[in-house]
Amino acid sequence: MMDIQFYGFLHLRDTQHSTVNVQVSSFVDQVRIYASNALAVSRSLGAYDLSFTLLTNEPELIRAAHPEAAAELTIASIPFSTRVPEGVRFFSGHYKLDVFRYLGQHTDRYMAAIDLDMLAINPPPESLRYYVDNGVALAYDITAQVAPSAGADALRGQLEDILGRPSPGRWSGGEFLAGPPEFFSALTRASENIYERYLELIPTAARVGNEPYQAAALDILRHEGYRIDDAGSLGVVARYWNMPTKHHQAPFHAFEGSFMLHLPVDKFILEKISRRGSLAPGEALRSYRRLKWQWLLLELAARLRKWRGRRGTHRG
């Protein structure tokens, strides 16, 4: 058994319906979708005897929206104190800094901060054991995935504006960060040092959310000599868009060997997987293979529910 603890987070505020890549009809619907995704990723990790904890500011909202998830998941309530501008895109994602702060003060030997719309589809690779045993940090380099849409020069320019110095322009995905507590403590320090500058630049930023300040903070740590390897090249994590993309994306079978798979547009598929109960090894992948074609139908149905809800509100 590998000595690694997985954490996801769900920051909730009913005035900020900050869903990403999914249509919801109400705030309760938003909470239910994300709680179901947390349940699915927790069960997929549990198939390989790996533990998952959901960090949140509103456990009672989760209990009200999804009693089954609240009863089964390990949920920890933590403070979220990061200053986030009202109405900014990816509002809740900005609070990832509070997750870094929490993990940096934790006693677990090695931890991974992951997104909720993910599945563990294979056993963790032996390569991961080296990083766990030796306390070496991991991040997920997605530069090649985001450069075609945002522009490589724009990404590098944003990082250089935040840092106030030249940068190689490496962009990290927010779905997977791993390391010992001292890594997350160092990441917290680096993030705090540039966070206000990141906020100042939002009006002209190529991208917003936790990824820009996280990528800049990782740049700082690497500049200081901190070793942070790429989890993607090790087969630890991959991101699969179940839709046409601007970057070149290999066929799905090329992703099937990864340990963890991030599925940004498949939150409804993950909800369906969560209804199937506990997962045996390999079952998460088999279930996703069977269901992945439904994503467009489920998204269109959600858009229709949302439209009907708005129409009913306007009539009232």
Q: Poorest-confidence range of 24-28, 49-53, 258-262, 300-304?
A: 300-304
**Residue 5 to residue 34: CA distance in whole angstroms:** 20
**Residue 51 to residue 41: CA distance in whole angstroms:** 10
Model confidence at 252: pLDDT above 70: yes
pLDDT on residue 104: 98
* pLDDT one-digit tens code per residue, 105-151: 999 999 999 999 999 999 999 999 999 999 999 999 999 999 998 88
Residue tagged 């991030």 (tokens): 262
Question: Which pLDDT band holds residue 315 (cuts at 50, 70, 90)?
Answer: low
161-179 average pLDDT score? 96
Q: Could you tell me if 219 and 105 are in contact, meaning their C-beta atoms sit under 8 angstroms apart?
A: no
pLDDT on residue 24: 64
* pLDDT one-digit tens code per residue, 1-17: 799 999 999 999 877 65
Polymer length in residues for the chain: 316
Q: Could you tell me if 109 and 182 are in contact, meaning their C-beta atoms sit under 8 angstroms apart?
A: no
Helix (H) or strand (E) holding 56: strand 51-56
* pLDDT one-digit tens code per residue, 77-97: 999 999 999 989 889 999 999
Model confidence at 295: pLDDT above 90: no
Model confidence at 307: pLDDT above 70: no
Contacts of 180 (CB under 8 A, 6+ apart): 109, 110, 111, 135, 137
**Residue 67 to residue 62: CA distance in whole angstroms:** 7
Helix (H) or strand (E) holding 196: helix 181-200
> Cα angle at 138 between 134 and 142, to 5 degrees?
160
Mean per-residue pLDDT of the chain = 92
Q: What global pTM score does this model have?
A: 0.92
305-312 average pLDDT score? 64
* CATH number for the domain whose boundaries are 5-144+172-183+229-308: 3.90.550
pLDDT on residue 149: 85
- Would you give the DSSP letter of residue 72? H
Model confidence at 185: pLDDT above 80: yes
Percentage of the chain with pLDDT > 70?
A: 91
Q: Could you tell me if 210 and 90 are in contact, meaning their C-beta atoms sit under 8 angstroms apart?
A: yes
